[in-house]
Amino acid sequence: MQDDSFTIGGETLASRLFLGTAGYPNRRILLDAVAASGTQVVTLAIRRVSLEAYAGSLLDDLDPALKLLPNTAGCATPAEAILTAELAREALGTNWVKLELIGDRETLYPDVENLVPTADELVRKGFTVLPYCTSDPIICQRLADVGCAAVMPLGSPIGSGQGILDPWTLELVLRRSPVPVILDAGIGTPSDATRALELGCAAVLLNSAVSRAEDPVAMARAFRLAVEAGRLARRAGRIPRLDHAEPTSPQLGLVGT
């Protein structure tokens, strides 16, 4: 099969599934789910996980080949987010950061007013910034303009499992974005992930859809296949939508005509 890798911040990736590491029933199920998903990138909530790589810690148990994507989950101010990113870089030795700047504790929607200047400052500090944002093409463009390596619009509220609520706006983002678009938040089923890739997303990031499933390992495998199917379908090219029926069999040469 033709190489279908993509690049973020100079890093080439083959898997288009990013996986979170929070909320699993136990460490063994987490590690098995990560392996089953085929992911190359796992996210870590820096404010909620120990960064000490002592024996038995998550960092000690994860496959060293995985790319770590620390995130600033729980941060409500630019100062908190920047400090958390700097702590992650020092502890983990990576410039990558998923920038989460929460503007509302009930909806967990991002603070778009402060998101762009915070992303700008992190980029200037040498970070590869992947910001969690709304599916607003203007905000996504501004994040790309300040140097973000990708944009990560939500499909629906974090952990809601509602899937892609506004595909039309997401498609606007996809058409205009000069950087990869990674769907983040709200995915509930593998079919949601397939749809994201069919629409043109470079990848999807999910956590709860796997960690809270009845069988997280099986669900991780299902998402792996779903992402591969969505990407293959996108490359294959769907038939056009029509407002009328069109027979699949030829009309000429029918018996009795």
Angle subtended by helix axes 112-124 and 78-92, to nearest 10: 40
Residues 228 and 238: their CA atoms lie apart, in Å, by: 15
Active site residue 98: yes
With 80 as the cut, is the pLDDT of residue 57 above it? no
Pick the range with the lowest mean pLDDT from 100-114, 127-141, 206-220: 100-114
Local structure of residue 102 (DSSP, 8 states): B
* DSSP assignments along 219-230, one per residue: HHHHHHHHHHHH
For the chain, list the domains and their CATH numbers: 6-236 (3.20.20.70)
Cβ contacts of residue 207 below 8 Å, gap of 6+? 19, 20, 21, 22, 23, 43, 159
Strands (E), 46-162: 67-71, 96-99, 128-133, 152-153
Q: Whose CA is closest to 92, among 106, 71, 111? A: 71
What does pTM read for this prediction? Answer: 0.89
Q: List pLDDT tens digits, range 148-178.
A: 999 999 999 888 889 999 999 999 999 999 9
Pick the range with the lowest mean pLDDT from 133-147, 153-167, 180-194: 153-167
Residue 255 is predicted with a pLDDT of 62
Catalytic residue among 16, 89, 98, 142: 98
Over residues 139-152, mean pLDDT: 97
Q: List pLDDT tens digits, range 235-248.
A: 999 888 888 888 77
